[in-house]
Structure formats: C-alpha cells, structure tokens
Structure 1
C-alpha cells in the first residue's frame, strides 16, 4: 500500500520512519517533509495546509492511507476533505479538532463533562482580562499564580506562566493587545496555576475503542531546570515513572473515557490521537490541555519503543476497527529524545546554517536522529526552523538512554546549536 504523511517536523520524520518498516507498505510520501524524511520517503513539495493540493496528490497517486501529523491541517478540515474524496485518512475531523484548535471550547467541554482541570475565566478583550487581574489582585507585591493562554493555535508558545501582576498584565497585552500570536488571541483564558509534575498520556481512538499508549514526559520550558519561556517541547522520554499503574488507570477512567463520550455527545465524534497534557497534582491528575495529534517530541520516543505494525493501528482507527487489534507490543526499554534548537529559539533565529555530524550521530548504537527544522541546500543539510533535530535513543534504563542520546548530540554541530542538558532528570530523581 501507499501512505502519505502530512507535515514537516520531527513527528512526521518518526511517522515516516516507522510506517516504512511495515511489510504492507510499498511507498511512503511526505508533504512537504524535511531533509530527514527525504532519507526514508519521497518528499512532495506541498504545504501541509494546502488542502486541495494534498487531496489531488492523494487521488493522482492512489494513496491508500493519509496520516496527518500537525494540528493546523486538522483544524482546517484536511481529513474531512479526504473523506469527501473517498480517501482514507487518519486523524480527527475539523469539528473534533476544535478540542485543540480552541482552548475555550476545550475548557468549557472539560467543565461540562466534569473532567478535572484548573479553574478558569475566558475573555474576549485585553481590557476585560486586565480589569479581572487588577480587581482580583489589588496588591502589586502579591503573587499572581495564573496562566494566560491564547485561545487558538500558537505553535506551543501561546501559554504564558505568570508569577506577578505585572507578568499577567504583560501576557494579556502580548496575546490580546499586541496580537503576538495573531488571531489565536481573539479570545484568551486566565486559569489558576496548577502545582505538580507534568505528564503526557496519548491514546489512539476510533470513537468507540481507546488504546492508551505508555505515558511520556515532555519538557516545555526552554532552559534547564524548567526555566525560560514555553516552547513546542525541548525533549521527552517514555515511559515516565511518575505515572504508575494506579495513576495510569485513573487517567483512563477520569480523563480519556469521559472526553471521548463528551465529544460524542457534542456531536463531534473523535477519531485519531487524543493527547492529554496533564498536571499530576496533590489532588490527582488535572488536564492542562488536549491536543488532537501525536505530540512532538513525544512521538519520537514512543515510536522508538513500538514493536507492533504502526500501519495496522492507524488503519484500524480510521476504519473503526480498533477493537479487532491484538494488544500492542512494546520494547520494554525506555527511550529519550533531546531536541537540538537554533540559536535564539523560541524567539527569532537565523536559518540556513550547515549541520555536520549527522551520520556519525546516527551511527551510534540505539540512536536515531529525527529531523524537524531542516532542509537541503546544494546537497547540504541546513537548519530551517527553531526546533531542528530530535536526537532519540533507547537504552536498558533511562540513564542509559540519556547517555546514548547526549553522546549523539555531541557529534552534531552547526553555528548556534543548543539543547537542554537535563532531559529525563525528573525520572532519575523520582
């Protein structure tokens, strides 16, 4: 069969790499792809959000399954367009993708379905949101433990954690005043800041059956020790010891099952990947957000451990036949992904800097370098994004996987390259 992967990040490289391993697959295409996907598949020069062109390509090339990686094409209805053309696709409809496309919709649904989450208020203007902060926190010296979130898609950067009143007012101005994240800031949420450790629990569902994947832990803040601004994710590892069997079952029963039922009641039945971003508080797990696709970078360590045929799983979800699948098989060893980023990320950064040492890094045992923000220029791999590579390793323990991943990181060079040095340390401290 022929498979088309839509997207250009590390997640899409990992998907193409894993899909290619299926004995059922004869050809893999990636639109638009990157320098790494070109090693696994055939890149197609079509933007991930060019819905008509993707549908036409899938028709012309008799694609048997289209796997949509990023959130933007899901939110604008790529899966709906493929379905209407009689083409099989893995991912939620535009209506179901609103779970990620609108944080206001998500929070309201969580509240209605009685799924544990932070208390919150929604606002349509910077003035109203600022008035709320000033009225509630009258003393400028008092702590203001809130999180300000843009309603729409903002590439993982529209969430600002605040410590003071000045922080909160600045976040409101950036999101809803200056519109730093564009139309994503037309509405915003102010919610209580939860205390605990974060975990990512992903599940694949066909709207009836839910297959929960091993828990992972992402590292959103830019710098070591969880300092600095939020990013799209600076690294992840899987599984995480902070989600034990009892916690895993609680997340399934209190979060995943209720959200699938709530989406069905809202007449937005969900098919695809449900990604629950959770805070593990003293009162139990609470939902920070839902995403509607594989996480990036969580996808990389997850797929590194998956032994079952990924194509069988994705196709069964698209066909509504997940209940017919045997239990998934996993490599028992933990895996870890370290994101290497461009100088200046998550702010402005320079593109076009040549990357060396990729082959040497990939040659290290139990290591796979997944490309994210890369492209080919005159046959050379150069950086083309903020998060550039996801250096992923598997090992007999978390510390062994970490050692292999950072060994590979040391082989890779480009001007201004950097990464966090503490990916997975929370597991070692647990």
Structure 2
C-alpha cells in the first residue's frame, strides 16, 4: 500500500502521473498536469506571470524557430533563446550575437516547436523553492546552483553542476517574504484558473539592479538544489510532505512551523565523459565505501552491474554533498569526497561555491 507519492521528474509530472495517483486515493506531492504547465510551457509561464504581476524579463513567443528567426529583426544582442517545452535543463541559450541566436534556433531543442526570445538579465541568481497547497505557500531554504559545464560559468548549459545553501544573496530569514512576492501570486492565479497547485514550486530568480525578477518556474524539486536544501529542513520531513499531499499544509505548519538548520551544504556533481553531450557509460564507480566524514553521496545516474558493482548510467553521475558549520567547511568536504570517488572520464567543476567563500 502506498501512503505518499512524491513525483520527482518533470516528464512524469507533465504526463499527469500526479493526477493518476490522486485518482487512486494516494496522497501526492506533485502538481497536476494542468498546473505543471508552468514548467512544460515557457509561454504559459510568461502569460501567467503577466496576469499575476510578477516581474520578469521582456520576452516574445513564436510558433516555431522560423518565425523566431524573423522576429530576431526586432531584437538586439545579447538575447536569450528558450525552447518552450521540457529540455532537461538544456533548452536555454544566451546568444551574445544575433548569429549565435540564429545558430541556436537551428539546433535542438529550439528548432522543434514553440520558442521564446527573451532579454538578458544581469545580476545574481538564486533558487527559491516552496511547498504549495492551493494558496498556502511555505518557503524552503534558498540555494544557488551552477548551470554551465565548466569553471568560470563557461561551456554549455547542463542540468546543474553543483549548488550550495545557505546563501548571502538571499538569507534564510528573507525567503518567505520573497516567496510571498514571487510564488503566492502564481498560486492564486492558478487556483483562479481552476488548476490549484499542490506540490513543490521552484522559482529561478535573479537579483537585478531593479530588484528581484523571475527567470523560470519548475513544478518539482530543483536538482542539484534539493541535495543541499533538503538536509537543512529540521523536524519530521515525511510528516510535512504527507500533510501537503493530503491538502493539510496550512494546518500542519501552524502546529509545526518549518525550521531551517544553520548548517551549510555544498554539492559538487561528478559527471561522465562528454556530458552534456551523449555521455560515456558503463564504467565502474569506486570509492563510495570510503567517503570522508560529513559527506553524502546522492546517486544521479548509476545502476547496479551483474556483479552488484555500481556503474555509470548517465551524464550527472554522483552528487558529492559536504556539510559544515560554514560554506567554506562544507565546500572543503565536498571536494574531498569528490576526490575519493573515481570512474573513468570523471570530471567536475572546481569552483562550486567559490564566490560565497570569497565574500564570507
């Protein structure tokens, strides 16, 4: 018997798995297919943001890449090219020239289906996730992630190369107030449309010179942010999510207010050779049995071999998460963990959380 289901991947949420499980009488943390359109259609998300008065980048939506190419005549570089649908975190290109934008429009996933052009925002990015039950919104610990494949935020976009929490850019004690500005109006707009949201809503935010602006929404836990945010939530997390799944979130947090640990966490993602292209797979992963103290290993793309050994099965293989009293301590432990685990072709960024340590 299943008491609680947490739908964790974007394609399953978009396929309506949460709806099917709810029809079976199961408590579900996972948006409906209709409500999750806020992630699987960037155009819908922009429409909803306009309706709810959410500050965001100026954008223009096009039926296909050919129309967007014509529309480029109205835009100056740099410009963001966004595939409208799901793209495993790889559907966004920041084109520094119009020639780069044309190239992006001719390349998957932007060359198939609806596409958006968007202004480039400058500032510091933060990920803010919240539990949402209708119009009840409870902020979770903020985090920062690293999307580019290589050090110095260079290379192609990925599903995420690392993350850390907490962050000075959005301190914990300001998280709920910002969720009230950027997530509560979206929850209200969805409910008004007859598609109430029940699950985790992720807001990708940019702190600009003009204030906070929303880059995107995801209808699920962010990855790699979840790996550094979830360990910071104190109390009985299972009971908290069960209350959300049953539609009792407001009642539960009134009796058991959510609390964040002061401990810091840093996630360094170990990737397979050639990621974010087609990764090399099948190699043995070694060292997981001798991790340093205060280091967790979250499996991202592994499987068991015939002999029981752990094998690489995808691009982002293992998340090495270090914890400590400070970001500097947690970072040191995460990288120690990264050195302990080995597989052929392993690579990772060496600058995760570096800027937070530098300003601490």
TM-score bin, normalised by smaller chain? over 0.9
- In structure 2, do the counterparts of structure 1 residues 156 and 270 end up closer, same or farther at CA, with 3 Å as the change threshold? same
Structure 1 CA distance, aligned partners of 2:236 and 2:64? 48
- 1:13 corresponds in structure 2 to none
Contact 1:151 1:185 in 2 (8 A): no
Whichever structure has more helix as a proportion of its residues is 1
Question: How far apart are residue 411 of structure 1 and its match?
Answer: 0.7
Contact 1:152 1:185 in 2 (8 A): no
- In structure 2, do the counterparts of structure 1 residues 136 and 303 end up closer, same or farther at CA, with 3 Å as the change threshold? closer
**Aligned counterpart for 1:358 among listed residues 288, 312, 315:** 288
Q: Single out whichever of 251-260 and 338-347 deviates more from structure 2.
A: 251-260
Question: How far apart are residue 252 of structure 1 and its match?
Answer: 2.1
- In structure 2, do the counterparts of structure 1 residues 107 and 414 end up closer, same or farther at CA, with 3 Å as the change threshold? same
Question: What count of residue pairs does the alignment treat as equivalent?
Answer: 355
- 1:92 corresponds in structure 2 to 31
**Aligned counterpart for 1:159 among listed residues 92, 116, 121:** 92
Structure 2 spans left out of the alignment, 5+ residues = none
**Aligned counterpart for 2:181 among listed residues 254, 261, 273:** 254
- 1:34 corresponds in structure 2 to none
SS at match of 2:35: helix
- 1:384 corresponds in structure 2 to 313
Structure 2 CA distance, aligned partners of 1:213 and 1:87? 24
Residues 117-164 of structure 1: CA deviation (Å, up to 9, x unaligned): 000000112222111213544xxxxxx111101011010001111100
SS at match of 1:111: helix
- 1:173 corresponds in structure 2 to 106
Q: Let me know the Cα RMSD of the aligned residues.
A: 1.5
Is 1:398 aligned with 2:334? no
Residues 165-196 of structure 1: CA deviation (Å, up to 9, x unaligned): 1111111111xxxxx238x9310000000001
Structure 1 spans left out of the alignment, 5+ residues = 1-61, 138-143, 175-179
- 1:330 corresponds in structure 2 to 260
- 1:205 corresponds in structure 2 to 132
**Aligned counterpart for 2:16 among listed residues 77, 95, 106:** 77
Structure 2 CA distance, aligned partners of 1:266 and 1:186? 25
Structure 2 CA distance, aligned partners of 1:245 and 1:303? 14
Question: How far apart are residue 276 of structure 1 and its match?
Answer: 0.2
- In structure 2, do the counterparts of structure 1 residues 310 and 332 end up closer, same or farther at CA, with 3 Å as the change threshold? same
Within-5 A mapping of 1:5-404: 62-137=1-76, 144-174=77-107, 180-181=108-109, 185-244=112-171, 248=175, 250-325=177-252, 326-361=256-291, 364-378=292-306, 379-404=308-333
Question: How far apart are residue 244 of structure 1 and its match?
Answer: 3.4
- In structure 2, do the counterparts of structure 1 residues 161 and 396 end up closer, same or farther at CA, with 3 Å as the change threshold? same
- In structure 2, do the counterparts of structure 1 residues 299 and 135 end up closer, same or farther at CA, with 3 Å as the change threshold? closer
Q: Single out whichever of 420-429 and 391-400 deviates more from structure 2.
A: 420-429
Question: How far apart are residue 307 of structure 1 and its match?
Answer: 2.2
Structure 1 CA distance, aligned partners of 2:20 and 2:66? 39
SS at match of 1:198: strand
